[in-house]
Chain A
């Protein structure tokens, strides 16, 4: 079926989900949410969050000015999920 489909556009990046356990303040989480409206966030406790998104959101967020630790975690997740895509994103300056 996939062979029959034309997947040249980026929608193929949306058929997955990456889930992160994050620590940070409300301000830091708000800053992250403002980079892309497709992040999902759940508060787990004081300063602890469950954050999830798909690859398209992750790639889009990497193009923004993220704090160092967040960028590192997202970059590592992308490198694991899709090394080819990660190389291309990094080649364009992350």
Chain B
């Protein structure tokens, strides 16, 4: 997975313009007016399905109707829970190779890409451009930095948070999973039970030289 912050609306010019007119705005209100655009590549189709459920955002995703999937066996995203189990890994890789073979065979038989893609797995890699406002990102981080989120989207959320903290360190100081934002876990019996550990992680993520 590769994540880049390709553009954003910085807070400084807005705050300066407001101050010049004797006006001010709270950080929470200001976040609604700032947008951040990320280019993400090498994400599984399973993960982009989770990502696009965040509706207060804009997406431009690589099409499988018009863009032919190439090198599926090399670029498929394999979950660590499969990769670490040799027998499961053999099944997974065998299925991916079969999927790639049949996909290419269907295209060779004249089936258009938009229909041949029906045999592609959720592990197929995808590229997507995402734009969210600062307040939408807070909600996204609240849900997806959580230990209850799936590993791939949690890694994505962590990387996006680091990039946000690099350009707007103060505005994103309180961003992170909801236990970090609110001081308590909302997951009830499903809680990971590691609230203090999580809080310690998100107090320093993106601020130290270790990132």
Contacts and interface: CB of A to CB of B under 8 A. Distances in A.
A15 B29 contact: no
B181 interface: no
Contacts, number: 76
Contact of B23 (A15, A19, A48, A54): A48
Contacts of B39: 1-2
A40 B32 contact: yes
B211 interface: no
B104 interface: no
A42 interface: yes
Contacts of B21: 21, 48
Contact of A6 (B23, B30, B32, B67): B67
B35 A17 contact: yes
A6 B63 contact: yes
Query: Quick one: which of B9, B14, B21, B58 has the most chain A CB within 10 A?
Result: B58
Interface in A42-94: 42, 44-45, 48, 50, 52, 54
A69 B25 CA distance: 24
A11 B60 contact: yes
How big is chain B's contact interface, by range?
A: 20 to 34
Give the secondary structure class of B's interface: mixed
Interface string B1-45: 000000101000010011001011100011011110101010000
A42 B63 contact: no
B133 interface: yes
How big is chain A's contact interface, by range?
A: 20 to 34
A19 B129 CA distance: 21
B9 A17 contact: yes
A48 B21 CA distance: 10
Query: Quick one: which of A4, A6, A15 has the most chain B CB within 10 A?
Result: A15
Contacts of A50: 14, 18, 25, 29, 33
Interface of B: 7, 9, 14, 17-18, 21, 23-25, 29-30, 32-35, 37, 39, 41, 58-63, 65-67, 127, 129, 131, 133
